[in-house]
Each structure stands twice: as structure tokens, then as C-alpha cells.
Structure 1
Amino acid sequence: MAKKRGFGQILRLPSKRYRARYTGPDTQLHNAPSTFETREDAEAWLTDERRLIAAGTWAPPAHRTKTIEHRTFGDYATDWLTARPIKPRTRSHYAMLLDKLILPGFESSPLKTITPDQVRAWHTRLGDSTPTLRAHAYSLLRAILTDAVHDGIIPANPAHIRGAGNAKRVHKIKPASLAELGVLVGAMPDAKYQLMTLLAAWCGLRFGELTELRRSDIDAKNGVIHVRRGVVRTDGEVIVGTPKSAAGHRDVNIPPHLLPAVRDYLKANVNGRDGLLFPAADGVSHLAPSSLYRVFYPARKKAGRPDLRWHDLRHTGAVLAAATGASLAELMGRLGHSTPGAALRYQHAAQGRDAEIARRLSQLVEVN
């Protein structure tokens, strides 16, 4: 018996599967192209059909079924990427993965013909010389095929290689010690780069967050940085937008020992509420990574850390915060991470922390 609902009908068949149908804009009754194992799947199909009608892109399901029978992965992936609500830099990264790693293997393949064996063979051909890119490519392929399942184009996702979406970190991050950080800052050529280095390390800010900071984002009286925007460069274009994730929209307290340097710098170098803290040489444009690297590379060499990347300073900031006893939730808030897994990647046991714990344990005995 069909259950009464706001849009469409779901009928449980003698086979215990479910049939979904609805009356379309053409006043005709339309059945789903196949039955469903669960009521939830049938409801999801009706929801998708209703969205197509609302968007004005609806066509009878039977016509669409004929069209999608031979739809290639390349066509579907292109439409998938165009419709995806993602950040410009992520879109550029996905486009690169598709063009260089995924489409060469699947572009002309009809979606319905892609098998688990073909996916495994493709994954093997990628090799293991670039494990992170390989993992990203597999995750993207799987995500696209998952949506193809949801769209009713394929019955099941053929991409199910266990662990293929994860990659071991090739670059083992070694945070800078306080001594190394001191030499690094001192080797930077001027106040702009020195303060930028200090905020990257002690406040854990990303490069794109630092280079979009403006005078109005700094509460010098209370020692707080309001992180509200970030800048990225993709396909030769400079784009200012919201932080990487919702959690990136945050307030970061400046360690008190840095406040005098911050206040002095603001007075001497930043004009107006909208003035950039760390602009390019012209004073108004965003600082390019290449400009930073020209001074950072010689400085890290003087610090005895030619392996140190700029982003590793953010990692250093996480370790310094962890050494104070900050909880995982507190680290997530300070770094702007939305998941514990992201923050955990930055956690290390700070040198000397275990000795401090042992000392405090002894203090418990002394008190009693």
C-alpha cells in the first residue's frame, strides 16, 4: 500500500523492495527506473526529483535513463566539478587531479562499465612516488562515483580499495625549537618579516591568513587577532575569501611577550583600518609566496634548519601550545581546525614535557 506523503508515493512490493513514483510537471505519473532496497533510498530519489523540478531542470526519468545509459565518466566528472560548492583553490586542485591522474584512465569509459578491477589497475599504475597525490586522486574518484550512485546512474561504487584514500606523510615535520626560532626571526631582513614569522609560529596562522590581515583585524589593546579572511592564489588569480573552513573563522590571542612588538609595528608601519599588515613592496598588494621565500630560505639556513618549511611554523605553534597543557579542543580552536584528526596531525610531545609531568607528580607527594 502506498504511504501518503507531501510529494510522490512509496509502495512496498511483495518482494519487500520499494517502488517510488510521483506526478510530474507534465501531469503524468512517473516511476523510478528501478525499485529500492530501503524506504530511505526511495525517499532520497523522490527528494532529488523534487529538486530537479524546483530548479527547472527536470525531464521525465525514462528519458534521462536512456541518456545516462552511455554517459561517460569524463562528462559526469566535468558536470560534478562545475556544480560542486567548493573553495577556488580546492576546485583548482580537483581539476588538476582530474586532468593529470584520473581522466587519462577513465575519461571515455561509460560509468556503468567501470569495474573494481579497473579501479585497482588504475590505482596500481599511479605508482607510489607521490603518495599524497595518489591518495587525493583516489578520494576524488570515489567521491564522484559515490554521487553517481546517489544519482541512480550506477548501482554500486566500484572504488573500494581499503586505505587508498590515506597516505603516509613523506615529509616528517620537525618543529623549530625556541633557539632555532630566535635565530630565524633575527635573520629576517626587516620588521615586517620578523613579526610575520613570530605570528606564524606563536599564533599558528596560515600564510593566506597572515597576508590578508588588516589593521582592523588586530585588537592591540586586548591582544587578539580576529581571523576572518584568507587570500589564495589559483590559476594566476589572487582571491580573498573566507577562511579554509568554518572553524577557521576565529579569534586568536597573542602571547603577551609579543604584544610590544605588535603595537610598535602597527604604529610605525600600518596606515588606516583597512591597511594590510604585511603587504607586497608596493604597500597595497598582497605579499606573494615567492617574495617571502626569498628571505625565508636564507634565514632558515642560518638557523641550521634548511628542511624547515614556512607551514612548519604553524606546526611549531601547535607544539608550543600543546606544551602548555592545551587540550585537543583548545588546539582545534586556536588553529582553526574543524575535526580532531586535523589537529592531531600537529600534536607532538614537546621536549621536556614528560620531565615536567614527573616533577609535578612528585609535588603531589610533597604536599601530602
Structure 2
Amino acid sequence: MASIKKYPTAKGDRWRVQYRTPDHRVTQRRGFKTKREAEDFAATTHVSKMRGEYVDPADARVTVGDLGPDWLARQTHLKPSSRRTAEVAWRVHVEPRWGRTKLADLKHSTVQSWVSDMGREVRDAEGAVTKKASGPVTVIRAFGVLAGILDEAVRDRRLLTNPARGVKLPRKVKREHSYLTDAQVMALANEAGPDKGVIVLVLAYCGLRWGELAGLHVADVDTLRRRLHVRRNAVNVGSVVEVGTPKTHERRSVPLPRFLVEPLAAACRGKGRDSIVFPAMGGGYAKSPGANTWFSGAVDRCIAAADKARAEERQRSADGEPVTAVFPRVTPHDLRHTAASLAVSAGANVKAVQKMLGHTSAAMTLDTYADLFDKDAEAVADAHDHRLGGLVFAPNVAKVQPIAVREAR
């Protein structure tokens, strides 16, 4: 049990409570003005120890900055790209705001204000922007780092509850997917050239992520069974390519269209089984092509060709709409979306698309590509029309026939 003693100070007598922590360390709390206050504190501390809710006041005086680096070092379960994202969020957003804040001083309202302020643009008196608003994804990532640190503090009994939980976060704005048609995919592949064109076709018809394509070895290409075995993911993290397991940590086998067998066989010809199928110019795993690369150049030429064709069609027919479709400015990852679109157009169901893309569940595939399955709903409606045949819904027509039948009897 705790012991309560009085001691003198310059401002008068005060009371001190001496007690043992759950790990049997002797500690004390001083400065109570009355014995009743000291007794209440002792009773509350005893109950919290009995319930397993005791938080050492000394532990709550550590700062977020004391815990952050060690928390980041323990995130070894994350993929390299996700770990780097967390490190950037900590360095840019969390540490500058919360690094010197003690755990005991954290409040739910201040965390909510921080989240709201990150998504708000700030202007000076003259209307000039002094602080740009962070996007919803950036805000959610930064909040996730702070909340994760505080969750661990709760588990370590440094805090009783996490003041960040329950904070309202901004909603992500879902980016509209860009889909290419078969003709557009072939145009892009032809513009990319014989060596890079096969990369375009594999991305657009097999649905691989860029890191999965970059990580393909010759042994992963089975042209006899027409399968691509996705065993690794080569992701650009900063300026270094990190090689690990696929995004979902599960290997998968992707069917290969027949027209891709020969181009892939040519890409593998003369290489050992452990060689990279699509290496970088200087060897090693290739980074995803960004601006001013072979991919962006091929897209630019396709856009220019489509725009030229549309302009010529407008000149020939002033009233009609151009037949040639607008060529969207796509990225390598957009070809993964295209693969989903072309698979659905070919009649694939959601489970087949899920397996091809390597999603963890069919629900995830539906959430990501709900717009592609709208035709399935239309097919259900058409099936109802076909099944009903000549039956007509006419609730206001008098039911004469059944009455006549009864009278005849």
C-alpha cells in the first residue's frame, strides 16, 4: 500500500505519496495541498494497478521525437517503398510538429487541428500562398505515422489511450483510370520499337506491375505452358532498386496470350536462366520509365498521331464527330488498368481478373474496377427481359377472365 506523509515547504505544508509501480520500483508523487488529495491519488493509483491500466508519469513525459526513430526502425514488416514513405512522412510532417511534444501533453483536439491544417492552404494579407495544402494521401500517411507511434506507446503503458484515434481524416479523391483499346496498345507498342514494344504488350495484356516486370528472370518465362511466374518485385526506392517479394507477398502465375510467346522468347534468347529478361541499359533491374524516357516519347507520338487524325476527320466532315479516339496520356501503371479492362472485355470474371492482377481479394478488384463490371449489371437486366418473354405488367386491367370462368361453372 502507499504511504502518505506531510512535509514542510516555504508555502506551507504539503503531502507526499510514496508507492510501488507494477514492476516493484519505489516512486513518489509530491505537492498535494491536502491529505485528502493525496489519499485520492493513492487510491486511484492502486485501482489502476489492479486493472492493469497504470501509466508511470515519468513514461508519459517522453516526447514523440524520442519514440519516432525507434518506431520507424521496427517497421521491418513493411515493403521497402512503404517504409520509405513512412520515413518521409515522419521527417517532413510529423517530427517538425510533434517531435518536442510530451506524450502527456497530446490531446485529441490538437491532433485534429493538425490534420485539418495540413489540408488547408494558407495565404498572406496580399493573397499570396505561404503554405500549400497537402493532398489527402499525404495527410493520411502522416497521420498514420503519428497514430502508429502512439499505438505502440499505449501498448508499452506510456499512455492510457491514443489521443489520435477517432480523428476525422480527409477523403481520398479516386483517380479516374485511363484505359487503352487494343488498337491503342498496338500503336503504343509499335511506337516504342521492337525491344521496348514487348514490354508494353506484357504490361497491357498480363497486368504486371512495373516492379514485377522488371524482376522477371528468364526462368520465370514458361513459353511452353504460356505462363509468367511472378516471383519478385524490383522497386525503385529513392535512387536504389530494392528487390523483394511481390506486393502481396504471394507468388502467382499469369497466363500468357499466344501472340506474346514469340516476342518473349526472342527477349530471352541467348540469356541464362538467372538473367533478367528486361534489364536496364547498364545492366541490373530497370527503373520505371518516367518523363523524357522511351515510354513518354512513345506516348507523345501516339497522342500527336491521334490528334492529327482527329483534325483531318473534322475537316472532311464538319458535322460528324471524329472516329479516331483521343489517346490518353498514360503511365506504365495505367497499362495495368488497361489489362483489367481488356480482360473484362474478353469475358473474364472478377476472380480471373483478381488472380491475374494479384489482388488479395475479389472485393478489392471490384472496388478498384467497379466501372468495368457495369455491363454485368446490364446483362442481368437483359436476362430478365428475355426470361419474361411476352408477359406484361398491367395492374390496372380488369381481371375479367377469372370471373367469367367461375360463372361458367
Query: What range is the shorter-chain TM-score in?
Result: 0.7 to 0.9
* Residue 242 (str. 1) matches residue 256 (str. 2): no
Shift of the 115–329 alpha-carbon distance from structure 1 to 2, 3 Å rule, reads: farther
- Residue 296 of structure 1: CA displacement? 0.9
The two structures, once aligned, show a CA RMSD in angstroms of 3.5
- Residue 327 of structure 1: CA displacement? 3.8
- Equivalent position of 1:328 in the other structure: 350
* Residue 190 (str. 1) matches residue 194 (str. 2): yes
Contact 1:230 1:243 in 2 (8 A): yes
- Equivalent position of 1:344 in the other structure: 366
Give per-residue Cα distances to partners, 1:98-150, cap 9 Å, x unaligned. Answer: 11111121111011211111111111221254221112222232222222222
Letter in 1 for 2:70: D
Structure 2 unpaired stretches of 5+: 1-20, 26-44, 120-132, 304-326, 391-409
* Residue 253 (str. 1) matches residue 255 (str. 2): yes
- Equivalent position of 1:136 in the other structure: 141
- Residue 163 of structure 1: CA displacement? 5.1
- Equivalent position of 1:150 in the other structure: 155
Structure 1 unpaired stretches of 5+: 1-19, 25-30, 46-60
- Equivalent position of 2:279 in the other structure: 279
- Equivalent position of 2:300 in the other structure: 301
Moved more, 85-94 or 350-359: 350-359
Q: Distance in 1 between matches of 2:382 and 2:179?
A: 25
Give per-residue Cα distances to partners, 1:231-288, cap 9 Å, x unaligned. Answer: 12223222211112223x2111112332233233333xx5110111111123x32223
- Residue 33 of structure 1: CA displacement? 9.8
- Equivalent position of 1:264 in the other structure: 266
Shift of the 190–198 alpha-carbon distance from structure 1 to 2, 3 Å rule, reads: same
Letter in 1 for 2:205: W
Shift of the 122–302 alpha-carbon distance from structure 1 to 2, 3 Å rule, reads: same
- Residue 214 of structure 1: CA displacement? 0.7
Tell me how many residue pairs correspond in the alignment. 314
- Equivalent position of 1:10 in the other structure: none
Matched position secondary structure for 2:254: strand
Shift of the 257–300 alpha-carbon distance from structure 1 to 2, 3 Å rule, reads: same
Letter in 2 for 1:319: S
Matched position secondary structure for 1:289: coil
Give per-residue Cα distances to partners, 1:49-99, cap 9 Å, x unaligned. Answer: xxxxxxxxxxxx99xx36522111112121111112222221111000011
Q: Distance in 1 between matches of 2:219 and 2:173?
A: 40
Which of 78, 90, 95 is equivalent to 1:98?
90
Give per-residue Cα distances to partners, 1:151-210, cap 9 Å, x unaligned. Answer: 2211112123565174113x422211222212111110332x111111111111111111
Q: Distance in 1 between matches of 2:264 and 2:385?
A: 37
Shift of the 107–355 alpha-carbon distance from structure 1 to 2, 3 Å rule, reads: closer
Matched position secondary structure for 1:238: strand
**Percent sequence identity over aligned pairs:** 26
* Residue 34 (str. 1) matches residue 35 (str. 2): no
- Residue 343 of structure 1: CA displacement? 2.4
- Equivalent position of 1:318 in the other structure: 340
